[in-house]
Amino acid sequence: MSHHELDARRLLCPMPVIKTQNQVNTLQQGDTLTVICTDPGALNDIPAWCRINGHAVLETREEGHEVRVTLEIGEPSIAL
């Protein structure tokens, strides 16, 4: 299990979520990812995406003008 960071600064909705999805697709179950954004909507959008897709949100926080969301990759979804 490893930790990764995704720089999604200066991207507006829906790009932080799309970039997060793309990065998550390259990771393994149990890996963690911290997404760093400047779009304040990501504070709600990324956790909502995680709930829908079976990933755990470990932490959300605001640091100045940046939002950080750390998530743990869940089981891969099975396409039907």
Active site residues: 13
The token pair that represents 21 in the structure block: 């999805």
Handedness of CA 3, 9, 11, 50 (dihedral sign): positive
Backbone angles phi, psi at 40, to 5 degrees: -60, -25
Q: Could you tell me if 21 and 54 are in contact, meaning their C-beta atoms sit under 8 angstroms apart?
A: no
User: CA 60, CA 67: separation in Å to the nearest integer?
Assistant: 7
